[in-house]
Amino acid sequence: MKKKRVKLITGRTIEQGMFIEHKTSKEYFDATATCFMNERLIKELDIEDYVKVNTDIASIVLRAEREKGIPKDLIFIPMGPWANFILNIDIGLSGMPSFKGVDATIEPTDDRPLELKDLIGLYKG
């Protein structure tokens, strides 16, 4: 399976904001369980619809979506529970977790993103 190192950034999008009060809605899921990537990156890795993003603490499966303006070595995930599942914090510094500029690898996958309930379920136990 092809793998590639990228920088991960997360951030707001209007869709993420529009459905932020409706976390269990399909719209919120569509808006946030998604990874935006440069078209060339998608081609290079033979990604079809879904992508697995790995960081030093966890992995997550997201829907892959093309975006023109994004550099080839960067991926963008809207802020929310899916992005945060793979993010960490440098304790004893500024209190701000690492939401942007995080080292990650990506790879194609046939798996599907978890629903919110199941994703949160991973934290239990």
Partner 1 sequence: MRVITLNLKYDGSIPVEAETITPDSFSDKSKEEIEELSLYLGNKVVKLREIFDVSVEGSNTGIDDVKIIIKGNAYRIKRIGEGMTGGEILVEGNVDMRCGSMMRGGKITIKGNADSWTGQEMVGGEIIIEGDAGNYIGSGYRGALNGMSGGKITIKGNAGLYLGEKMNGGEIVVEKDADMLAGLEMSGGKITIKGNAIMPGGEMTGGDIIVMGTVIDRLPTFKYLGKEIIDNANFEKYVGDLAMRRAKGSLYIKAP
Partner 2 sequence: MIIKNVVCPFCGSLCDDLTVEVEGNEIKNVDNTCKLGYNKIVGYSHGRIEAPLIRDKEGLKEISYDKAIDEAAKILCNARRPLMYGWSSTTCEAIEKGIELAIKIGSLIDQTATVCHGPTTLGIQEEGKPSCTLGEVKNRADLVIYWGCNPFHAHPRHMGRYSTFTKGYFTNKGRKDRKIIVVDVRESDTSKVADIFLKIEPGSDYKIINALTSIIIGNGDILPEEIGGISKDRLEYIAGEMVNANFGIVFFGLGVTMTGVKDKNIGSLSRLVKELNRNTKFSLMPMRGHYNVSGAGNVFTWLTGFPYAIDLSRGYAYYNPGETTANDVLARKEVDAILVVASDPVAHFVNPSIRRLAEIPLIAIEPYTSATTELADLIIPVAISGIEADGTAYRMDEIPIRVKKFIDSKFKSDLEILTDIINRIDRYE
Q: Does 96 bind partner 1 (CB under 8 A)?
A: no
Q: Which stretch binds partner 2 (CB under 8 A): 39-47, 71-79, 106-114?
A: 71-79
- Binding test (CB under 8 A) with partner 1, winner from 1, 14, 93, 96: 93
Q: Which stretch binds partner 1 (CB under 8 A): 17-25, 53-61, 84-92, 114-122?
A: 84-92
Q: Report yes or no: 77 and 10 within 8 Å, Cβ to Cβ.
A: yes
Pairing of strands 59-66, 100-108: unpaired
Q: Does 92 bind partner 1 (CB under 8 A)?
A: yes
Sequence-distant (6+) residues with CB within 8 A of 4 are 41, 44, 45, 105, 106, 107
